[in-house]
Chain A
Amino acid sequence: EVQLLESGGGLVQPGGSLRLSCAASGFTFSNYAMSWVRQAPGKGLEWVSGLTGSGDRTYYADSVRGRFTISRDNSKNTLYLQMNSLRAEDTAVYYCAKDMTSGGNFITRSDYWGQGIVATVSS
């Protein structure tokens, strides 16, 4: 059974940092691209970042490029999102999502999602 478990959220002041983690199990982690998708309170889905199965290629939404860094440790089956220079508008539930397509060379659509972790940016 595929499981994705996010951790690392919380309350942080504007300008601060958080590091989200997503522990994956139930599938061959390195074979799949992974993404982070967020949802602000009462708002729609926003794709934040993704990376290939090997981690050699990373991609970002314009809203977070230069502030967020996605990475993975395939030996630990874990995905990360380092979030720096946080702003109030980054407040959201952050979901870790597994890509549907095996091979891991492209980020496409997601078939499994974690339950989400809340990140709140406020003074």
Chain B
Amino acid sequence: IQMTQSPLILSASVGDRVTITCRASQNVNKWLAWYQQKPGKVPNVLISEASILKSGVPSRFSGSGSGTEFTLTISSLQPDDFATYYCQQHNSYPITFGQGTRLEIK
């Protein structure tokens, strides 16, 4: 299953609301996760099952969608949020990631 993220680069300012889209080439039901990765660091899972926030993740992050189209929304960008975000499907093997969306400071 191919995962396609858009945009690949997103420039935004602190306080902005931003949305990243992830599209699957086949139905993945709700089995989609979102990760955040900062330069030189390991990925950190933010959201599971398309919309379930991992404990400790700020509530400004939210996820939605099912089937083939999913979104990650950050309601009010904070300086710590500038990073690369990946979607990942685990509905079927092999597990696949999106290409990543780099969120940059405008």
Additional A-B contacts beyond A59-B94, A100-B45, A115-B42 (7; CB < 8 A): A45-B86, A47-B94, A59-B93, A62-B94, A108-B31, A109-B88, A114-B42
A85 shortest CB reach to chain B, Å: 19
Among B9-17, B71-79, B96-104, the one that faces the other chain is B96-104
Chain B residue nearest in CB terms to A60 = B94
Kindly supply a per-residue 1/0 record for chain A positions 37-77, scoring 1 wherever the CB is within 8 Å of any chain B CB and 0 otherwise.
10000001111001000000001111000000000000000
Does A104 belong to the interface (CB within 8 Å)? Answer: no
Q: B43 touching A47 by the CB < 8 A rule? A: no
Q: A109 touching B94 by the CB < 8 A rule? A: no
Q: B86 touching A107 by the CB < 8 A rule? A: no
6 closest A-B pairs by beta carbon, nearest first, are A109-B33, A113-B42, A44-B100, A59-B93, A47-B95, A45-B97
Number of contact residues on A: which range applies?
20 to 34
Number of contact residues on B: which range applies?
20 to 34
Enumerate 10 A-B pairs (CB-CB under 8 Å) in ascending A order.
A35-B95, A44-B86, A44-B97, A47-B96, A47-B97, A59-B94, A106-B90, A107-B95, A108-B31, A109-B48
Name the residue among A35, A95, A107, A108 with the largest chain B CB count within 10 angstroms.
A108
Residues of B within 8 A of A46 (CB): 97
Does B37 belong to the interface (CB within 8 Å)? Answer: yes
A45 to B37, CA, bound (A): 10
A68 shortest CB reach to chain B, Å: 12
Does A1 belong to the interface (CB within 8 Å)? Answer: no
Does B35 belong to the interface (CB within 8 Å)? Answer: yes
Residues of B within 8 A of A100 (CB): 45, 48
Residues of B within 8 A of A109 (CB): 33, 35, 45, 48, 88, 90
Q: A108 touching B43 by the CB < 8 A rule? A: no
A109 to B31, CA, bound (A): 9
A93 shortest CB reach to chain B, Å: 10
A59 to B91, CA, bound (A): 13
Q: A116 touching B42 by the CB < 8 A rule? A: yes
A46 to B45, CA, bound (A): 15
Which listed residue, B42, B45, B99, touches A44 by the CB 8 Å rule?
A: B99
Q: B43 touching A45 by the CB < 8 A rule? A: yes
